[in-house]
Amino acid sequence: MKIMSVNAGSSSLKFSLFEMQDESLIASGYFERVGIEGSFYTIKYNGEKIREEIEMPNHTVAVEILLDRLISLGIIESLEDIDGVGHRIVHGGDKYSQSVLVTDKVIEDIRAVSDLAPLHNPAHLLGIEAVRKALPNVAMTVVFDTAFHQTLEKTQYIYPVPYEWYTKYAVRKYGFHGTSHRYVAKTISEVLGKDDLKVIVCHLGSGASVSAIKNGKCIDTSMGFTPLTGVMMGTRTGDVDPSIIPYIMEKEGLNAAEVLNIFNKKSGLLGLSGISGDCRDIEEGIKQGNERCKLAMDKFVQTIVNYIAEYYVELGGIDCLCFTAGIGENGIDVREAICQKLECLGIHIDISKNKVRGELTEISKDGEKIKVYVVPTNEELMIARDTLALIR
């Protein structure tokens, strides 16, 4: 069976097509600048990469072009070869704790919580409607980034603000990157051959989050009401005192939205270093003796260590620490710096084993009680797996 995973952005459409018999990736691609002048797409298959500049005024046209190219390039013989389509949805509110088949009710529920993810959910809906129009007889599912974190106890997701804000406006911790955290937790369970594990997963990329997972269920996660909170990130602040907002508004003559835009897009590694939000650029700056780059990296590492230590206590000790996503999978120096600060908790890595990028690898020292792993994430495959299970 062939399943397609789709992630629609406001001006983009990303897809992956899998053969689920062996979970192999048949093709993947990215349609960019949808609805904007200069739109183009890239499709990778059979070791080749096709790029074409073509007008895509909306997501419907983008999907039509995608399906046409899948056939014209010989990737599939006909549209009937596609057995299901799974859509990534950033926010499902507190209604959905698992993936579901697309129905009119589900679409309305996604639309109803769009004010919680105004940059994402409306775009995801455009993708759903476009695929629905092009493939009306193909089963579709939605996979929520927030779903995995719906197992949090109320004491973990509630905020110490007026309770009416929760009941009236749904102000609470939701958490994100859930599909990635779930994939990593499932993978490490299979690797270690145990379901009753206490695991901390560090999803470290331009966006970053840490989750505490017990027996396959999330009990706490660092991101909150929005993806802004938690550990410091590429361009996001992570946790800061909210009183900074009115203070800077007055000092800089900005409004709240402008300050939050700075918190989201001009802070984190970028804000402290003044150079870049990309960890690779920060590491290069450190090699050149840039003190602000070193400060940015030290702060990044410390915020992650703080959450790992907190979740270690919350879980009552751990069996495994996992690193995933762009920095987690490739950041050799970052992993080493984090684990060195955690040695007091019994976490010890082998420096030679740690010299790995993008491979499923144990990097803890031989015989250590607490295992440390690099686990490449695959959110698209997780979406495809959920879709296959639901359509069956």
Average per-residue pLDDT in the chain?
94
Determine the average pLDDT of the residues in 127-137.
90
Q: Which of 22, 81, 94, 145 is catalytic?
A: 145
Tens of pLDDT, residue by residue over 19-71, are 999 999 999 999 999 888 899 999 999 999 999 999 999 899 999 999 999 99
Q: What's the fold here for domain 2-144?
A: Nucleotidyltransferase; domain 5 (3.30.420)
**Distance between CA 89 and CA 103 in Å, rounded?**
14
CB 130 within 8 A of CB 75: no
11 — pLDDT class (breaks 50, 70, 90) = confident
Which residues have CB under 8 Å from 179's CB, separation 6+?
88, 143, 144, 145, 147, 148, 379, 382, 383
Residue 379, phi then psi, degrees to nearest 5: -65, -35
The pLDDT, as a whole number, for residue 232 is 97
139-144 and 100-101: which strand pairing? antiparallel
Q: List the structure tokens of 78.
A: 């006909």
Q: What is the DSSP letter of 234?
A: S
CB 310 within 8 A of CB 209: no
Determine the average pLDDT of the residues in 129-147.
92
Determine the average pLDDT of the residues in 149-154.
96
Q: What's the fold here for domain 193-379?
A: Nucleotidyltransferase; domain 5 (3.30.420)
The pLDDT, as a whole number, for residue 9 is 83
Transcribe 274-305 into DSSP letters.
SS-S-HHHHHHHHHTT-HHHHHHHHHHHHHHH
Tens of pLDDT, residue by residue over 72-101, are 999 999 999 999 999 999 899 888 999 999
The model's pTM is: 0.93
The pLDDT, as a whole number, for residue 120 is 83
**Distance between CA 364 and CA 370 in Å, rounded?**
8
Is the dihedral angle over the CA atoms 309, 183, 380, 108 positive or is it negative? negative
Q: What is each CA distance from 285 to 62, 282, 312, in whole angstroms?
A: 39, 5, 32
CATH 3.30.420.40 in the chain, residue ranges: 2-144, 193-379
198-204 and 24-32: which strand pairing? unpaired
Residue 80, phi then psi, degrees to nearest 5: -65, -15
The pLDDT, as a whole number, for residue 114 is 86
What single-letter amino acid sits at 170? A
What single-letter amino acid sits at 33? R
Q: Using the predicted structure, report yes or no on whether residue 121 has a pLDDT greater than 90.
A: no
Classify residue 57 by burial, with Cβ atoms within 10 Å: 0-12, 13-18, 19+: exposed
Residue 68 bears catalytic tag: no
**Distance between CA 372 and CA 123 in Å, rounded?**
37
**Distance between CA 161 and CA 108 in Å, rounded?**
29
Tens of pLDDT, residue by residue over 208-262, are 999 999 999 999 999 999 989 999 999 999 999 999 999 999 999 999 999 999 9
The pLDDT, as a whole number, for residue 354 is 97
CB 199 within 8 A of CB 318: yes
**Distance between CA 223 and CA 200 in Å, rounded?**
14
SS3 16: strand
E-assigned strands of 215-360? 217-221, 320-324
Q: Using the predicted structure, report yes or no on whether residue 371 has a pLDDT greater than 80.
A: yes
Q: Using the predicted structure, report yes or no on whether residue 119 has a pLDDT greater than 80.
A: no
Q: List the structure tokens of 330.
A: 């490739």
What single-letter amino acid sits at 319? D
